[in-house]
Structure 1
Amino acid sequence: MHVKNISRTSCLIMEYLAPTSFTTLLSFTASLLVLAIILFYFIQSHKNVKKHPLPPGPKRWPIVGCLPTMLRNKPVYRWIHNLMKEMNTEIACIRLGNVHVIPVICPDIACEFLKAQDNTFASRPHTMTTDLISRGYLTTALSPSGDQWNKMKKVLMTHVLSPKKHQWLYSKRVEEADHLVHYVYNQCKKSVHQGGIVNLRTAAQHYCANLTRKMLFNKRFFGEGMKDGGPGFEEEEYVDALFSCLNHIYAFCISDFLPSLIGLDLDGHEKVVMENHRIINKYHDPIIHERVQQWKDGAKKDTEDLLDILITLKDPDGNPLLSKDEIKAQITEIMVAAVDNPSNACEWAFAEMLNQPEILEKATEELDRVVGKERLVQESDFAHLNYVKACAREAFRLHPVAPFNVPHVSAADTTVANYFIPKGSYVLLSRLGLGRNPKVWDEPLKFKPERHLNEMEKVVLTENNLRFISFSTGKRGCIGVTLGTSMTTMLFARLLQAFTWSLPPSQSSIDLTIAEDSMALAKPLSALAKPRLPPQVYPGY
């Protein structure tokens, strides 16, 4: 009986191992072997990574992490920096919802993220605000890594912000620099005391907005502007909307860390961003729609601005390369990216220099030596204006436009500075912490432009070693560095050369208090300006 059972089993096995079945079994076994090998190496590599601890951080609640503590400590950036100071660490890990947030204030560690492991940290997070502004991530700076990001980055580098296009737009930049001087000169004429009180925040922000509008739409104003050259209602509404959106990008919105809460708007961010994005679209969309139709109908044939370029780009089959939504989203992103950094640096630098008049004097002396008083400073003079650029560079260091750089997202588990950085972590390089790190900078809270003259023969506004952040670096570094440098330097140089600046009559110094909800001055900077060049030098319209 036993022998018969064995015989039957043998027959069954022989049947099962028929040629076709045997091949299938062999393939299945090989597949299992390959999977086992892959799993073994994954576990080993994961073990190697997990040997390293997470960066130090506060205790967290299950599921929500440190979100309850974050909500009790506004503004969040101060809470984070105070935590790092208490823990005496230059890198931390704060769990917000399901996200590991990794703030960094050490240049060496920052370089490890954006240089040694740039590929791993080249993506961006998905957030409510960035999704809205980029129209579903159709743009460059705010979009996660992928085909769309590669496409739009190529468009910007090749057709919008290339050296050739920068030269092509030169006359528009000069026109807006002249208009800036014209506007401030008109403020001076309003007073019988040969000078006028100028709101430098208004002058700086609207110069940046006017210049960017001129390059994009070939127009300075959306409305008619004011008779003195200042912004009208339309421009003020528009610029306020831009800055409101900027202040809410990566503003530690609850739903960014608990996406299931999107739509509930627990902290009011969604309502603010949607309303201000609507205002921006109110001004952009009619121009874009009309221009697209003009090219389609053949009514327009000459390329006059960047909008024309974006509309007329073709794919290899001769079809439009960009959709209307891509054009709209990218134009909004360019405006958002261009309007704040130069204007913030200018306002803060002038605030510091008004409290230290000897710095103002040195800067104007350099301009008189390099340019003279018989003409206005031009871009060709920039290479010789090292002290002026040192003042701008110092403003970027000490008074950054935002507390943190735009987040970088880890594409994989990795280690940085001997710490475990999990996949999906948000890495926040602290503009504030890097620029004010006492291990890097002598007297870090003092405005000293000379420190930059001592370390470089030709002063530039970029800082590739991440001791502070002006335009960032790596794959996600600012594509518009040349334009940003030009805008910043021209804004400084024209205002310094064309006018003398002093404290308003009622003030003994400038209050350098930082605003509660941003990195700007708490009160917009106003100063007394007087013309310092011959009358014929000032542009007249």
Structure 2
Amino acid sequence: MPNGDSECAWPWLWRAKEASDAIPRAAMTLLVIAIAALSFFYLFRRRKIGTAQLPPGPRGVPFLGYLPFLGTDLHQKFAELAKNYGPIYKLQLGSKLYVVVSSPSLAKEIVRDQDRTFANRDPNIAATIMSYGGRDIVFSSQGPYWRNLRKMFVRQIMSNASLNACYNLRRQEVRKALSDLYRKPGMPVDVGELALLILINAVMAMLWGGTLKKEKHEALGAEFRKVVAKFMVLLGSPNVSDFFPALAWLDLQGVERDVKRVHQWIDDFIQSVIDCATTAGRTNELFEQKEEEPKSNEQQKDFLQIFLDMEMDLEDNQSFMDKNRALKAILTDIVIGGTDTTSTMIEWVMAELLQNRNVMDKVAEELTEVVGVDKMVEEQHLPNLKYLDAVIKEVFRLHPALPLLVPRSPHASCVVGGYTIPKGSNIFLNVGSIHRDPTIWDKPSEFRPERFLEDPGKYDLSGNNFTYMPFGSGRRICAGLALAERMLMFTLASLLHSFKWELPQGAELELSDKFGIVVKKMNPLVAIPRPRLSTPELYMSS
């Protein structure tokens, strides 16, 4: 072996021949210490989590990983891969590691046993922009800000008292829609667009008591649906910038540019709501202003007024700009989460009922028995609509709005199912696959609501049964679940009770879907409503 400084492969590592070498020598010494420390930490961490290996998974190609083979329908692709690699497997997508879980027992480990570890988010570029930098409930990671935000939202906005107090506002908007339908007998209706308009108006009314001006209804509703649908596709589509953060500045697919445009439209929409609520007596070109009514107690305030009256000190040293972003982020959650996903599920329910006329007949019979044809549906009727509830649950099983939920990210490396899950990886819970697992569900491809009547207490939407989690589970379960349940059931019951629905002559119904973070029907559902109540006067009530 050669000896001497002149023949050493890296002589500058060990000796500084001149005073000017002191700085690089010191830097290299620090680097060696850092490498040693990181190596020790890695070995210590491996010792703590045991010798478990990473989950199995497809190899992919160098640099890109499995990206070239991913496709666009992720929920279907993930189900196919599970057949080859089992209920937990990994995918290397660019520089990021993803883990897909599709069994109830493993899901339980994540959402119950190690819920705190898996409570973080790693929002992609689209989600970061739309959530005002991760300031909303959905995409902010756990910590004081998220805990305070969720506590405020669930306890004060989504409480039974608050939801009961604004029932009349919801009912009024549903009744208006029924009246409008009655005035257009035999006209084909885009069911998803109709549902979205009802929900937009209901949410606007609950936010601050104002609704869309009548002349703006159809145009703005159609544009809102188009904008939100585009965002959902952008949010769920693979983006090179997310998988290779070093290339994000190039925005190779134009996703960041497109999301910013969508975000600007929604931000303007939200700002118009805030302007109307915070400027006394002011109206704008989109919203009507309701007459001020005396409020007998705090619970009768609009949602937005509750927000504005609260301090909203969600974190230390929160600036006015931070509070404004937080308010807009929360309102965006309510406006999008309370309209898009719910209208999507209304469309799926109506599609399945039109595909299964015998089930629709049973729903109609139940509504006649519980409500009667000489009355309108009220929220007090909903607990007695057991069969309709089973229908909705079955649709959530077959067509969960978010079949992959919102990905979680562990804040520390841990073990799930005997496999190491590294810190910072992204975890998909494939509830769409769990909901169609033949080892769990009898004839899982069939639409059979009766399965939810056989043991009524076994399944609900709260995520406590890990074979059925359409809204997620654990501390990251959907914060707006209480409102979603009420709005979905009440709107559907009202539409099905007030009208008989049929397909246009010659139309063929299909149930294919298109993937976004919210999975929608590939083609909009168009149907014709026929009045079924006893007197025309019922349709004119509000």
Common fold, TM-score beyond 0.5?
A: yes
Task: Please tell me the residue identity of whatever aligns with 1:435.
Answer: H
What are the Cα deviations for residues 367-390 of structure 1, in whole angstroms up to 9, with x where unaligned? 111111111111111111110011
2:405–2:471: 8 Å Cα contact kept in structure 1?
Answer: no
Match for residue 99 of structure 1? 96
Counterpart of 1:239 (choices 189, 204, 225) is: 225
- The 2-side partners of 1:461 and 1:181 are apart by 28
- The 2-side partners of 1:177 and 1:232 are apart by 15
- The 2-side partners of 1:469 and 1:457 are apart by 15
Range moving further from structure 2, 517-526 or 132-141: 517-526
1:84–1:90: 8 Å Cα contact kept in structure 2?
Answer: yes
Match for residue 74 of structure 1? 72
- The 1-side partners of 2:126 and 2:37 are apart by 43
Paired residues for 1:295-334 under 5 Å: 304-314=301-311, 323-334=323-334
Going from structure 1 to structure 2, the CA distance change for 1:356 and 1:147 (only over 3 Å counts) comes to: same
Matched, 1:217 2:208: yes
- The 1-side partners of 2:389 and 2:76 are apart by 29
Task: Please tell me the residue identity of whatever aligns with 2:537.
Answer: Q
Matched, 1:510 2:509: yes
Going from structure 1 to structure 2, the CA distance change for 1:460 and 1:185 (only over 3 Å counts) comes to: farther
What are the Cα deviations for residues 344-369 of structure 1, in whole angstroms up to 9, with x where unaligned? 22211221221211100111111111
Match for residue 490 of structure 2? 490
| 1:78, distance to aligned residue in structure 2 (A) | 3.0
Task: Please tell me the residue identity of whatever aligns with 1:198.
Answer: V
| 1:540, distance to aligned residue in structure 2 (A) | 4.7
Match for residue 84 of structure 1? 82
Match for residue 156 of structure 2? 159
Counterpart of 1:198 (choices 189, 193, 205) is: 189
| 1:528, distance to aligned residue in structure 2 (A) | 2.2
| 1:85, distance to aligned residue in structure 2 (A) | 2.3
Paired residues for 1:313-462 under 5 Å: 313-314=310-311, 323-456=323-456, 460-462=460-462
Going from structure 1 to structure 2, the CA distance change for 1:470 and 1:77 (only over 3 Å counts) comes to: closer
Q: CA RMSD in A?
A: 2.8
Query: Which runs of no fewer than 5 residues in structure 1 stay unpaired?
Result: 1-35, 189-194
Q: Which has the larger radius of gyration?
A: 1
Match for residue 537 of structure 1? 538
- The 2-side partners of 1:456 and 1:280 are apart by 40
Match for residue 132 of structure 1? 129
- The 2-side partners of 1:175 and 1:467 are apart by 37
1:312–1:320: 8 Å Cα contact kept in structure 2?
Answer: no
Secondary structure at the counterpart of residue 262 of structure 1:
helix
- The 1-side partners of 2:47 and 2:324 are apart by 48
2:72–2:237: 8 Å Cα contact kept in structure 1?
Answer: no
Secondary structure at the counterpart of residue 54 of structure 1:
coil
| 1:115, distance to aligned residue in structure 2 (A) | 0.6
- The 2-side partners of 1:506 and 1:60 are apart by 46
Match for residue 33 of structure 1? none
- The 2-side partners of 1:340 and 1:419 are apart by 37
- The 1-side partners of 2:352 and 2:430 are apart by 22
| 1:513, distance to aligned residue in structure 2 (A) | 2.1
Going from structure 1 to structure 2, the CA distance change for 1:56 and 1:184 (only over 3 Å counts) comes to: farther
- The 1-side partners of 2:423 and 2:458 are apart by 40
TM-score by length of 2: 0.83
- The 1-side partners of 2:64 and 2:37 are apart by 37
Identity of aligned residues (%): 29
Counterpart of 1:150 (choices 129, 147, 152) is: 147
- The 1-side partners of 2:376 and 2:164 are apart by 19
2:75–2:430: 8 Å Cα contact kept in structure 1?
Answer: no
- The 2-side partners of 1:67 and 1:366 are apart by 49
| 1:447, distance to aligned residue in structure 2 (A) | 0.9
1:140–1:152: 8 Å Cα contact kept in structure 2?
Answer: yes
Match for residue 24 of structure 1? none
What are the Cα deviations for residues 396-436 of structure 1, in whole angstroms up to 9, with x where unaligned? 11012233100111111111111111111111111321211
Secondary structure at the counterpart of residue 407 of structure 1:
coil
Going from structure 1 to structure 2, the CA distance change for 1:74 and 1:515 (only over 3 Å counts) comes to: closer
Secondary structure at the counterpart of residue 409 of structure 1:
coil
Range moving further from structure 2, 414-423 or 144-153: 144-153
Task: Please tell me the residue identity of whatever aligns with 1:314.
Answer: E
- The 1-side partners of 2:452 and 2:334 are apart by 29
2:463–2:477: 8 Å Cα contact kept in structure 1?
Answer: no
- The 2-side partners of 1:217 and 1:293 are apart by 12
- The 2-side partners of 1:469 and 1:339 are apart by 20
2:66–2:92: 8 Å Cα contact kept in structure 1?
Answer: yes
Secondary structure at the counterpart of residue 247 of structure 1:
helix
What are the Cα deviations for residues 164-211 of structure 1, in whole angstroms up to 9, with x where unaligned? 2112211111112212322322332xxxxxx33222111122222221
| 1:501, distance to aligned residue in structure 2 (A) | 1.5
Match for residue 165 of structure 2? 168
- How many pairs were matched up? 486
